[in-house]
Amino acid sequence: MIKMYKDVCTSLLLACILLYFGQGTCASAYNYTTTTKCLKEPQEALYGGGIIMNPDFNHNMEGWKAFGQGNIEERISKDGNRFLVAHSRKNASDSFSQKVQVDQGKIYTFSASVQVSEGSEVVAVVFKFPTGKNIRGGDMIAEHGCWSLLKGGIVANFTSLVEIHFESKNTSVEIWVDNVSLQPFTKEEWKSHQDKSIIEQRKSKVRLQVTRANKAPLTGAEVLIKQTRSDFPFGCGMNHNILTSTEYQNWFASRFRYTTFTNEMKWYSTEIKQGQENYTIADGMVKFAKENGISIRGHNVFWDNPKMQPRWVNSTLSPEELGTASAKRINSVVARYKGQLIAWDVMNENLHFRFFEDKLGENASAAFYYTAQQLDPGTMMFMNEYNTMEYSSDEASSPANYKKKLEEILSYPGNPNLTAGIGLQGHFGSGQPNLAYMRSVLDFLGATGYPIWLTEVSVGIGPNQAQYLEEVLREAYSHPAVQGIIMFVGPITAGFNETTLVDKNFNNTPSGDVVDKLIAEWKTGSLELATDDQGYIDVSLFHGDYEVTAEDNFASSSATLSFKVTKDEPQSIVQVQIDT
């Protein structure tokens, strides 16, 4: 786009050259590419083991002792590597342990190379406090014949000794461990890592040159750079109240360009009575979103919780009847909104529940994904789950089980090329979120290569709600594997009673202040700059769409052009020329 200002007496040439950051100094904090790799020899202990004594067992078993009723011993591989083995185990927690001191308020990242003596089994790390409380700090599926990295961690809520040990439910297997690490970070250090990663992952360096038509550099040209749209999807849930509240509409449209309808597309909302489909409310919300440039995630096609079906879809429905009804449902809703959505949560919470699997067979989820992709091939298909990231003790939806279920879906005939996405709901409680565990989960699932979205972020009511909401959002935004965030928060008048962003008068709550602050922080504001003696300006810009205007006050001429800053698509020189 070219605009002319004043009387044009001189020609201007604007060249925008995009240069991209490589991996920086924070790469170790977000090193997720090797998280799921199976290695012949274990990788070295991260951070040199941190505060762990004898992390690589080069000093025999110094600092370590048996935990529970099993036995432990040191072994040496053919290549001379020393590692520790727990064998003759009788209970899941029979392994080995070490006590370390943790300090209140610090974040502790954990890692260890793990293997089992046969087959493959889930191995977890557990932190035992003097109070007797056990915190599961992370888990992974360990295999015989190779070493895999178990990552996790804790946030210390008080200063104390903590005993670190391992567990695996299958007591017939030995647990092999090497190169253990526990590294402490202050919250200031943690945020510093996040800030560095944001610069590396969400911004790019841009070189802009202003010249005259004869290519002579224009010194001291006034340049205005304005971001018109952000590339990172940061949005908010929306419900039916938006159709009747002008205040809600204005509040939402002034902030967000991405949304998920909290209930209005769900089966129990669109077919309350069997055979009587009604999409009036959902259609109205889609219309509002389109008119305001808001992209929509479809939520959801099916919910595996038996209590969350339409009332007429109950336990008395035969498998044949359910099969017919579910086929009608998926064809109806996905075809209706084909090409209008950016994603579908095809299956909601199919790790915690199995209503359709019990009725229709183990491949029920996989078959639904196949059908949805055939009906709407241009849309990303998500598996949406809770507690995978926010609560480390929920084994049903652990990262290892999430990955296993996703792989089962992708192995179904016709699904290997599924446009799949990883949906992590992110409903955090009122206490301190475990940022170390959250990062380890994003590392683990990010290593699959599939895009991760936080799909329903909220934080429980408590004195530190706004602070914890900010911590969660920053952790997600700074992680390179996360490609979008949707919060399930909003105005109290619309029924958002847990994490409320505005009160009944649409004045910000503390959580609302946090969200507005991050929206402003994660975009480039209007920049007024001047070119140097070679006509250049070097600046770091968030990824997105931009408009730049350069003006030569002496010659009373100017030019405006649009350009895009991206991480994945290097941009060639953009030139605009205004002739005399």
Average pLDDT, rounded, for the chain:
91
The set of residues, in sequence order, having a beta carbon less than 8 Å from that of 108 and lying 6+ positions away, is 102, 153, 154, 155, 156, 182, 183, 184, 185, 436
When pLDDT is cut at 50, 70 and 90, the band that residue 18 belongs to is very low
> What is the domain extent for residue 90?
33-185
When pLDDT is cut at 50, 70 and 90, the band that residue 21 belongs to is very low
Q: Reduced to 3 states, what is the DSSP secondary structure of residue 295? A: strand
Q: Provide mean pLDDT across the span 162-188.
A: 98
Q: Provide mean pLDDT across the span 405-415.
A: 97
Q: What pLDDT is recorded for position 252? A: 98
What is each CA distance from 172 to 71, 97, 260, 401, 467, in whole angstroms? 13, 19, 46, 21, 45
Last residue of a domain, one of 162, 185, 208: 185
Q: What is the pLDDT of residues 457-510, one digit of tens each?
A: 999 999 999 999 999 999 999 999 999 999 999 999 999 999 999 999 999 999
297: CATH? 3.20.20.80
Last residue of a domain, one of 149, 167, 185: 185
Q: What is the pLDDT of residues 305-351, one digit of tens each?
A: 999 999 999 877 899 999 999 999 999 999 999 999 999 999 999 99
- Domain match, 104 and 155 both: yes
Q: Are 455 and 384 in contact (CB under 8 A)?
A: yes
pLDDT surpassing 70 at residue 256: yes
- Domain match, 78 and 201 both: no
- Domain match, 156 and 248 both: no
When pLDDT is cut at 50, 70 and 90, the band that residue 557 belongs to is confident
- Domain match, 276 and 358 both: yes
Q: Provide mean pLDDT across the span 163-176.
A: 97
Q: What pLDDT is recorded for position 515? A: 98
* Rounded Cα distance, 427 and 431, in Å: 12
- Domain match, 274 and 380 both: yes
User: Virtual CA dihedral for 82, 84, 87, 91, nearest 10 degrees?
Assistant: -160
- Tokens for 434, please give them: 């475990």
Question: Quick check: is 200 catalytic?
Answer: no
pLDDT surpassing 90 at residue 183: yes
Highest mean pLDDT among 175-179, 220-224, 555-559: 175-179
- Domain match, 440 and 395 both: yes
Q: What pLDDT is recorded for position 579? A: 41
- Domain match, 136 and 79 both: yes
pLDDT surpassing 50 at residue 41: yes
Domain count within the chain: 3
Last residue of a domain, one of 185, 214, 247: 185
- Tokens for 47, please give them: 């951070």
pLDDT surpassing 50 at residue 577: no
Q: Which of 167, 174, 390, 456 is catalytic?
A: 456
Please give the backbone phi and psi of residue 372, each rounded to the nearest 5 degrees, phi first: -60, -40
Per cent of the chain over pLDDT 90 is: 84
Q: What is the pLDDT of residues 432-458, one digit of tens each?
A: 999 999 999 999 999 999 999 999 999
Sign of CA dihedral 265, 338, 405, 149: negative
pLDDT surpassing 90 at residue 59: yes
pLDDT surpassing 70 at residue 31: no
pTM of this structure: 0.92
Q: Provide mean pLDDT across the span 70-75.
A: 96
Q: What pLDDT is recorded for position 569? A: 63
pLDDT surpassing 90 at residue 360: yes
Count the neighbouring beta carbons within 10 Å of the beta carbon of residue 352: 14
The residue ranking higher by pLDDT, 552 or 169, is: 169
Q: Which of 200, 349, 470, 551 is catalytic?
A: 349
When pLDDT is cut at 50, 70 and 90, the band that residue 282 belongs to is very high
51: CATH? 2.60.120.260
- Domain match, 357 and 415 both: yes
Q: Provide mean pLDDT across the span 138-160.
A: 94
Residue appearing with tokens 């399930």: 488
Question: Quick check: is 456 catalytic?
Answer: yes
561: CATH? 2.60.40.10
DSSP state of 417: T
- Domain match, 226 and 291 both: no
- Domain match, 275 and 339 both: yes
When pLDDT is cut at 50, 70 and 90, the band that residue 20 belongs to is very low
Q: Which of 181, 177, 143, 157 has the alpha carbon at shortest distance from 28? A: 181
- Domain match, 418 and 534 both: no
Q: What pLDDT is recorded for position 420? A: 98
DSSP state of 27: G
Q: Are 163 and 128 in contact (CB under 8 A)?
A: yes
Q: In the Cβ-directed half-sphere of 287, how many Cα atoms lie within 13 Å?
A: 8
Worst-scoring range by mean pLDDT, 380-384, 388-392, 533-537, 543-547? Answer: 533-537
When pLDDT is cut at 50, 70 and 90, the band that residue 36 belongs to is low
Q: What pLDDT is recorded for position 13? A: 52
- Domain match, 127 and 178 both: yes
When pLDDT is cut at 50, 70 and 90, the band that residue 568 belongs to is confident
